Chains A and B, each alone.
Chain A
Amino acid sequence: MRFFQHFGEYLLFLKAVFTKPEKGKIFVKQIFTESNNIGVGSFAIISLISTFIGAVSTIQIGYQLVSGILPDYLIGRIVRDSNILEFAPTVTALVLAGKVGSNIASEIGTMKVTEQVDALEIMGINAANYTSLAKIVSGVITIPMLVLYAMMLSLIGGAISGWASGIISVESFVKGLRTDFMGYNVVFAMTKAYTFSFLITSVSAFQGFRTEGGALEVGESSTKAVVYSCMSIIFFDYIISQLMLFK
């Protein structure tokens, strides 16, 4: 029961968020600030994580395919598919749920408990729209870009670790990358990326916005934002995979 009540509140929140901003100029300015916070601010951590996941996946897949019967370029192919289909979009989203999600929830939560949200309402501004729309839009613009970037870096990381550990030569790895490449997989991954970025930003903004109390509750909201974002990411990962990979 509680779940349905929260879900209903979430939908009402989204209804309030997706209205026309009071002033277009201010909104555009917010988009730039938030895109910078979310996108540029997450660049370093995503670079690091995706490179290493690519590197680790090459080593582990190499380890599992040591039979000698299969040609080694298959390693490149499997690394490519697992990184594009799963690791790059999902791990990036989970990491950003932690970084961006908690940030959004605590920022909006703090505005709520220090009455800044009330101040907006009294001025006659739709506070849900003002505090959250730019964050959600910026997330949906920048997070998929980060996912694309993560895909690329993970393949480079994979090539490097394959070469450095002597598992596979760069030529074979690249040959593997180019074997039976399906553009559809990228479409699938980007569908996930857009869905996840919307989930992270909107769920976290909602958690921030329903904060009541003080500093303690802001902390709780930010934890909840991360937990619920992660749960919804995993759940939609399953749904989208089912819908798009086995039609």
Chain B
Amino acid sequence: MIVIENVNKTFGTKHVLKDISANLYKGKCNFIIGASGGGKSVLMKCMVGLVTPETGSITFDGRDFLKLNYKEKINVRKDIGMLFQNTALFDSLNVEENVAFPLRMFTDFTEEQIMDRVNFCLGRVNLVNLNKLFPSNISGGQKKRVGIARAIALNPKYLFCDEPNSGLDPLTSRVIDELIKDITKEYNITTVINTHDMKSLFVMGENIVFIHQGAKWWEGEKAGIRSSGNKELLAFMEASEF
């Protein structure tokens, strides 16, 4: 479980995150939704430690990330897997090496054990026979899957997905959604998903955090959205025809 408390972040004079608090639960797909420019990506970057907020705390199962020293932070990071919006695969490495990368860096596995794990992860995302191809030679949907395989290689406790199905066709989007949902349940991961896609929210959303102009406007279960009475949230839903 990840607990966010009173997080504030400003860029120059721009107050991007305004006193945000939220709970993100273990074994669930936690959604962060909101209009473009609202601060979803910045919030996610704060959680994974790429951006440091001015105030507030972000606690990973009792470990207050911002208060940890360098070594302890690295230990938390080893529990984090992230799927980037544009996948951020290493383009000098092929598919197999991309997935093997965290294993090579952080485990003392033999080459055989590494390949076993790589093939297991690639199998888990239904990608076979692409091992030797480079990221520039595979499709967007395939890249996302390699990104997921790389993110789960080290058995993360926390999985972050920034717009996992942006730029994908609806069918592939559903496949990726299902994949993330299954993996979350299977390994009891705290999954955080940042999206515009209301369809995936309704398919797999469990806990929802609605961010509007940098502030948290609503938080709760999917079923509570319609009865929330929150004008901005309902307007946001309506715009996406649900």
Contact = CB atoms under 8 A, between A and B. Distances in A.
B73 to A, nearest CB: 8
Helix, strand, loop or mixed for chain A's interface?
Answer: helix
B102 interface: yes
A209 to B, nearest CB: 15
Contacts of A111: 90
B77 A119 contact: no
Interface stretch (B11-19, B81-89, B213-221, B229-237): B81-89
Interface stretch (A5-13, A122-130, A177-185): A122-130
A26 B84 contact: no
Measured as residues with beta carbon below 8 angstroms from the partner, the interface class of chain B is 20 to 34
Interface in A99-147: 110-111, 114-116, 118-119, 121-125
Contact of A123 (B73, B86, B105): B105
A130 to B, nearest CB: 9
A222 B86 CA distance: 23
Interface residues of A, number: 15
B48 A122 contact: yes
A121 B104 contact: no
B105 A118 contact: no
Contacts of A114: 86, 88, 91
B104 A119 contact: no
Contacts of B91: 110, 114, 116
Contacts of A119: 82, 84, 88, 90
Interface of A: 22-23, 26, 110-111, 114-116, 118-119, 121-125
10 smallest beta-carbon distances between A and B, as pairs: A124-B77, A115-B88, A124-B74, A119-B88, A115-B84, A116-B88, A122-B82, A122-B48, A22-B105, A124-B78
Interface of B: 48-50, 73-75, 77-78, 80, 82, 84-86, 88-91, 101-102, 104-106
